[in-house]
Structure 1
Amino acid sequence: MKIIPIIILPFAILQLCYAPPVTPNKKGSDSDEDSDMKGLEDYMEYHRYLKEVVNALESDPEFRQKLEKANETEIRSGRIAEELEFVSHHVRTRLDEIKRIELERLKELTEKKRRLENPNSIIDDPVHHHLDHSNPHTFEIEDLKKLIAKTTQDLAEADRKRKEQFKQYELEKEYQKQEKLNHTNGDEREKLEKQMMEMEEKHKKHEKLHEPGHKAQLEEVWEEQDQMQQDFDPKTFFMLHDVDGNGLWDQDEVKSLFIKELDKMYQQGAPRGRHEGTS
């Protein structure tokens, strides 16, 4: 069980379920090497700092073992940060260096902003809540608590924005539907209305979908897609679907969890509208 998957998995799932269809990127616009960070950089400018801290912590065998035993509440609440006291000296030194580099990055950002806005002005350093500024020398328990809290807060805000985007998308879709109807009349309108009603009925009749990310949905993947005979085990499940073994689920790996749910939606021959039947 890892810090990043526990905090980010609900976001990744919601991103797939509520994001409006995206225009395909131009060829070569995204590099494969950045695929594991895709999405994070849009919602937190400190995403590299987050990843480096987590990687450093998980390099400590004892801390990693405590992470595996910790439940979601212990991680999200920041209680797991108390275990930092028992991390090896080597890892603590590495964390100190990671924090020093991050503070330097933030300082450079502030200086760039000053030069762009008004070279002669004095700009106070903005407050960045993902680390503890009161102690610029070492990475302490408070730093880890702040990092977990800020990550959770930022992803919650990202979820809220995506839900709002999805709502706007649905409103636009309904508006376009009405516009299409308003520009037809007589037999043509009746035919169009009938087609729309038939399409809606097809979506209503498809097999009941599990709530994305719900235990029942993940267990179904475990049993039917992974063909696992033993009882569902979250840690084993995570490793099974971490195809590239980098300790993170990228978007393609998360999408693979929903193949069966999509099959349920489209088995009636309905067009593959990304959101139909998932809201």
Structure 2
Amino acid sequence: MSPRTIQSEDALELMADLRETEVPIIPDDLLFTIFNELSTEERAPLGTSCKRFRVVDFELGRKSFEKISAKWNDIFHSVNGIAKNTNYSQQGRNSSFIPETIHNLRLFRKATTKLMKIKITSVSYPAKIQWNFCDKFKTIPYTILRGSIACAYPILENFHKNLIKDRNIEQASMYLKLFSSFSYYNPDIASEVDRTRAFLMQLPKVDNFKLVWTTKSSVSFEITQKRTIRRHLATVIDDPTLIHLVSNSNHTSLSRIHCTGHGLLSIF
């Protein structure tokens, strides 16, 4: 038998031994402990290396996002979490909601974010917005809240319940753009004014607060109609509402108000 044949047989035996040798596997509890000690930045490259690490990364939650952006318009809704140049995205059409799977729900579990940005601009089909779009963000701390919200039920109520109520946000900044939901589906401006005023009167103390009024962009809205709606919405900021907003923020910016001289004197 030639030396070449002997070497080949030895190699085959070695390969057989390697196949029979068990590859060591880190137990799940130890793997979770390791990942729990890592920051979002340190976990990011591990999540792209293998499926098991990726599963642990999502199961653990506790991500630190630079920005979480959620949008709902007349066609689709989406949620995007930006963490160290990685975009964790969930998207769906309004006819088929983003499935509330374990994977999707745990993405934001025990998470934090610097900027929380919520934009809900659909007012044509109010029945669809009965779905609690903001529910998954209820426990996420933020430093800055930016909201572009329709003054319609139950949008304001859901936004307040999940992103403002029962939070310690005295050091946070809140920038709100409220637009009129006045349309064929919601012709009652008076109710909209009352609802919006009640929402503003529930806002807690924050560091910075800015409020802007606008109307939904639509070719069917004449300029005169927009002016009428904005004029009505300006009456939301009456004396009590103005005093509440100014008293509960260190820096306040309001686009339109409708108050008396006595109300202005009361805030100084």
TM interval, shorter chain, is under 0.3
Structure-2-length-normalised TM-score? 0.21
Structure with the larger helix share: 1
The structure having more radius of gyration, on CA atoms, is 2
Structure-1-length-normalised TM-score? 0.21
